[in-house]
């Protein structure tokens, strides 16, 4: 009997979940961990091995990931598994709000969240806000459907998300305050007239549930009591962000939304304007949430592009509602003459119009790509391409105008929106695909965490090759690291003979370790005689100060931009190579006491 309640809508939400999992799990472990990600992964690894560790303000991630490390091992894929799962589950939260959004809009929102480039990119990052956002979405969904015990439990999980959770909750509280302030009289009048027949939350019980979740998951079922201290430290860590800036300009956040979410931005704005014109309260509330969440992210000095995920659900919800109203395949009886539409086949006309607009916008993109490849320095060629691109946009408007005159303005509007959504949809999917792939050295995406270890894979492969040559095993060579980089510590986490010294002690290095890794900026005269060195680009930063790179068109098409990199040098002892001096002939000296490798 229960199977009979399953509908096509449920099957589509199952498809959403599978699609969200696919794009988030694809090549999840291929991209090396940066310093920010490796900091949390190393702490979780220490916990999984039962070692003492100074808990950072991410107790939820540390507890769950240490448990995963204990069972499945410490691979990059496992280190990112929980944010990826949280991002996938978040795509199902529109199911709770079908009544408020409408079933078609809720389903469209679910597909949008599953394929949005920003949501996918942040779901594949350690230490970002996705764990907090996923729990927040489920908590709000259960609260909306009056399942208060579940809402309290997921609220506790959200609070374990660290400073990112407080960041999102601040935007939510401001939204609630602004909404009730604007609608205070109307809400009070409705509460007096309505009969409260629905169950209300038992505040004491829900607080006990939330506290229990915080204690159990924050301490990994009481195994690590210091997790409660880390949870309390989330507040000062978040407040510190109001004092210590991150260096990310606010214009970069605005550029990220405009470049990666054009459909959400265009139709979200149209939806919010339409909601105020129609006095439609759900759309008004979503718009207030998007604006205030964006304002909080922009004014926060320690802002990161990943913080925009608190804005995107509301923006996409507005866009989904507006797109559903635009893309009704049978039209709106209040706006069109149904007999005329059926007589002349207006729906097919709209589809043909959309196909033509898609072709025109595709040619527009090809000319834009040519412009980015040639550069604006080629004045003659650039002027011709710009003229062609302008003519293509004019032609889109002319086609829409002719369809409106010949059939109906509703048909013309539908064809225009279908064509634009088809073109921008493929553009958005290309951004999603880019978020799942290992980028080449000169590629720069705004959503990726900084700094990025550009040649970590090449350095790791070099270490493994040298180890096999000298010991016959891939991870048995002795490595001395004189670089303060959590990402480098994570890279050699499985090398039992790895040791670490502060960078300033490299001049006092004695002995003959097989491999030494140092900063390129340091002088290593003692190593140059008996060692061979190879530099690797390790830290890569954007080479521009504003929102977009100087060659914005080239970056928009190819994601190529000026970058600033810092190198490390891998020094390999000469006897590791054929024909060189054997290790026994080198001076017998000892290394200073090194810091043991962090596990």
Residue 587 has pLDDT above 50, yes or no: no
Separation CA 330–CA 111 (nearest Å):
22
DSSP one-letter string for 529-568 = HHEEEEEEEEEEEES-SSSS-SSHHHHHHH-B--EEEEEE
Residue 485 region by backbone torsions, left for phi larger than 0, else alpha for psi between -120 and 50, else beta: beta
Q: 511 and 530 in contact (C-beta within 8 Å)?
A: no
Which candidate, 80, 85, 88, places its Cα nearest to that of 126? 80
Higher pLDDT, 187 or 480: 480
Say how many C-beta atoms besides its own lie within 10 A of residue 569's C-beta: 21
| Residue 13, strand partner residues | none
Beta bridge partners of 566: 539
> Mean pLDDT lowest for which of 255-259, 411-415, 427-431?
411-415
Alpha-carbon gap, residue 481 to 56, rounded angstroms: 24
**What rounded mean pLDDT belongs to the chain?**
84
* Cβ proximity of 74 and 43 under 8 Å: no
Are the beta carbons of 428 and 258 closer than 8 angstroms?
A: no
The DSSP 8-state label assigned to residue 309 in this structure reads G
Answer whether 62's CB lies under 8 Å from 110's CB: no
Query: Which phi and psi (to 5°) does residue 424 adopt?
Result: -70, -25
How far apart are alpha carbons 484 and 493 in whole angstroms? 14
- Bridge-based pairing of strands 479-481 and 515-519 is parallel
pLDDT for 386 equals 85
Q: What is the pLDDT of residue 599?
A: 32
Choose from 37-41, 332-336, 436-440 the range with maximum mean pLDDT.
37-41
pLDDT at 527: 65
Angle at which helices 103-115 and 8-25 pack, to 10 degrees?
A: 10
Q: Which residue has the higher pLDDT, 220 or 201?
A: 220
pLDDT digits (tens, 9 = 90+) for 234-260: 899 999 999 989 888 999 999 999 999
Output the pTM of the full model: 0.89
Q: Cβ distance 267 to 322 under 8 Å?
A: yes
Digit-coded pLDDT (tens) for 439-453: 665 678 889 888 888
Please spell the DSSP secondary structure of 189-220, one letter per residue: HHHHHS---S----HHHHHHHHHHHHHHHHTT
pLDDT per residue over 76-119, tens digit each? 999 999 999 999 999 999 999 999 999 999 999 999 999 999 99
The C-alpha R_g of the chain, in whole angstroms, comes to 28
Query: Does the pLDDT of residue 22 top 80, yes or no?
Result: yes
């Amino acid at each position: 009997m229960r199977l009979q309640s399953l509908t096509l809508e449920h099957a589509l939400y199952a498809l959403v979940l599978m699609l969200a999992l696919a794009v988030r799990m694809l090549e999840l472990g291929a991209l090396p961990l940066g310093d920010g990600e490796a900091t949390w992964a190393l702490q979780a690894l220490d916990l999984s091995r039962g070692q003492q560790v100074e808990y950072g303000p991410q107790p939820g991630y540390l507890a769950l990931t240490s448990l995963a490390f204990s069972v499945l091992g410490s691979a990059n894929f496992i280190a990112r598994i929980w944010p990826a799962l949280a991002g996938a589950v978040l795509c199902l939260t529109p199911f709770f709000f079908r009544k408020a959004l409408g079933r078609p809009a809720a389903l469209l929102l679910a597909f949008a969240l599953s394929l949005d480039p920003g949501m996918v990119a942040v779901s594949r990052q350690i230490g970002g806000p996705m764990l907090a956002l996923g729990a927040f979405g489920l908590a709000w969904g259960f609260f909306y459907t009056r399942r208060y015990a579940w809402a309290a439990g997921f609220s506790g999980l959200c609070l374990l998300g660290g400073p990112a959770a407080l960041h999102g909750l601040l935007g939510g509280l401001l939204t609630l305050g602004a909404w009730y302030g604007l609608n205070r009289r109307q809400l009070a009048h409705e509460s007096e007239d309505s009969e409260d027949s629905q169950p209300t939350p038992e505040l004491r019980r829900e607080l006990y549930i939330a506290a229990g979740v915080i204690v159990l998951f924050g301490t990994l079922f009481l195994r690590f009591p210091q997790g409660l201290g880390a949870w309390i430290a989330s507040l000062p860590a978040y407040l510190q962000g109001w004092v210590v800036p991150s260096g990310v300009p606010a214009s970069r956040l605005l550029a990220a939304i405009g470049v990666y979410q054009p459909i959400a931005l265009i139709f979200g704005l149209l939806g919010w304007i339409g909601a105020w014109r129609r006095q439609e309260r759900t759309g008004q509330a979503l718009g207030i949430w998007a604006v205030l969440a964006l304002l909080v992210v922009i004014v926060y000095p320690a802002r990161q592009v990943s913080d925009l995920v608190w804005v995107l659900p509301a923006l996409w919800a507005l866009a989904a509602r507006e797109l559903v109203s635009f893309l009704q395949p049978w039209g709106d009886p209040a706006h069109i003459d149904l007999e005329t539409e059926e007589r002349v086949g207006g729906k097919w006309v709209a589809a043909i119009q959309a196909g033509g607009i898609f072709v025109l916008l595709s040619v527009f993109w090809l000319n834009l790509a040519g412009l980015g490849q040639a550069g604006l320095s080629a004045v003659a060629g650039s002027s011709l391409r710009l003229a062609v691109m302008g003519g293509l946009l004019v032609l889109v408007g002319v086609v829409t105008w002719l369809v409106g005159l010949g059939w109906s303005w509703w048909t013309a509007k539908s064809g225009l929106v279908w064509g634009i959504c088809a073109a921008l949809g493929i553009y958005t999917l290309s951004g999603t695909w880019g978020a799942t792939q290992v980028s080449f050295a000169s590629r720069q995406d705004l959503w990726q965490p900084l700094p990025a270890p550009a040649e970590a894979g090449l350095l790791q492969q070099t270490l493994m090759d040298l180890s096999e040559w000298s010991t016959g095993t891939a991870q048995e060579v002795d490595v001395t690291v004189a670089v303060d980089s959590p990402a480098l510590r994570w890279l050699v986490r499985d090398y039992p003979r790895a040791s670490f010294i502060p960078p300033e002690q490299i001049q006092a290095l004695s002995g003959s370790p097989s491999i030494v890794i140092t900063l390129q900026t340091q002088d290593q005269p003692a190593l140059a005689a008996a060692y061979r060195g190879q530099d690797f680009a390790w830290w890569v930063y954007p080479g521009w100060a504003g929102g977009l790179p100087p060659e914005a068109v080239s970056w928009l098409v190819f994601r190529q931009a000026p970058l600033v990199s810092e190198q490390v040098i891998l020094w390999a002892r000469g006897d590791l190579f054929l024909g060189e001096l054997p290790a026994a002939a080198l001076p017998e000296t000892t290394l200073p006491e090194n810091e043991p490798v962090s596990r």
